[in-house]
Amino acid sequence: MAPPLPLIPGDDALDALAGVLRTRDWATLALDATDARLHAAADEARAHAAAGRLVPAATGRADGRQFAGLRGDATLWLDDPACGPAARELLASLDALRSGLNRRLLLGLEEVEAHFAHYPPGAGYARHRDRFRSDDARVLSLVLYLNPDWPDAAGGQLRLHLPAGPVDIAPRLGTVAIFLSAEVDHEVLPATQPRFSVAAWFRQRPRA
């Protein structure tokens, strides 16, 4: 039997994660940073960046208008034909996680979208929310970090702006942050070295 996909906690851990999300707007997971599949995903993200396959990102809206200058990353969607087996396995993992959380939280989560993201040194993403004003499809946001041996001094944290004050999450390999797309302001702080992650959104059928 194949080992479980890396983003799928056991039932007890998934129950606990759902419980946290019921009581507050965010949660974190710490995956096994020695998992070879996480390292394969990190290697694939770096290979795509080196080959120039990641496209500079811009903020946008459901009506198609795009705005540059708020973010400095480049991205490649995990379902792009250029992606390899590590990306496909990650996407399958994320979809299974979506299904498991949906059974517990009844949020109407119907699909997942996800991409690799690369932030070069000095790049960040200004404070924002992930749900568009004219499109309410995104319900849960997720970030999975792909940076082995990340030093604290390098910066690059994900900063969640919460009612009790900001929470910073270091971008170390295997760290996962999950939060409500419509509720949590967040930003990506600049770092002194290149930074890789997977950003994903669990989506409902748009109501707006």
Q: List Cβ neighbours of 2 (8 Å cut-off, separation of 6 or more).
A: none
Question: pLDDT value at position 91?
Answer: 95
Residue 131's φ and ψ, nearest 5 degrees, are -90, 130
Q: Which two tokens stand for residue 179?
A: 């939060």
Mean pLDDT by 10 residues, the chain (208 residues): 62 91 94 92 97 84 49 96 96 94 95 97 95 84 97 97 97 97 96 98 82
Cα-based distances in Å from 41 to 92, 105, 175, 177: 13, 28, 14, 17
Q: Which two tokens stand for residue 31?
A: 């995956």
Question: pLDDT value at position 165?
Answer: 97
Task: Count up the domains in the chain and report the number.
Answer: 1
Domain membership of residue 42 (yes or no) is: yes
**Could you give the CA distance from residue 148 to residue 171 in angstroms, rounded to a whole number?**
9
Domain membership of residue 145 (yes or no) is: yes
Q: Tell me if residue 185 falls in helix, strand or coil.
A: strand
Question: pLDDT value at position 5?
Answer: 61
Domain membership of residue 62 (yes or no) is: no
Domain membership of residue 18 (yes or no) is: no
Domain membership of residue 6 (yes or no) is: no
Which structural domain range is residue 124 located in? 28-56+70-203
CA atoms within 13 A of residue 97's CA, in its CB half-sphere: 30
Question: pLDDT value at position 60?
Answer: 53
Question: pLDDT value at position 67?
Answer: 42
pTM, rounded to two decimals: 0.90
Closest C-alpha among 103, 98, 121 to residue 171: 121
Do the beta carbons of residue 162 and residue 26 sit within 8 Å? yes
Q: Tell me if residue 23 falls in helix, strand or coil.
A: helix
Q: List Cβ neighbours of 179 (8 Å cut-off, separation of 6 or more).
A: 25, 26, 27, 140, 141, 160, 186
Domain membership of residue 22 (yes or no) is: no
CATH of the domain at 195: 2.60.120.620
Domain membership of residue 138 (yes or no) is: yes
Domain membership of residue 195 (yes or no) is: yes
Question: pLDDT value at position 135?
Answer: 76
How would you label 72-102 residue by residue, b for 16+ Cβ within 10 Å and e otherwise? bbbbbebeeeebeebbebbbebbbebbebbb
Do the beta carbons of residue 72 and residue 122 sit within 8 Å? yes
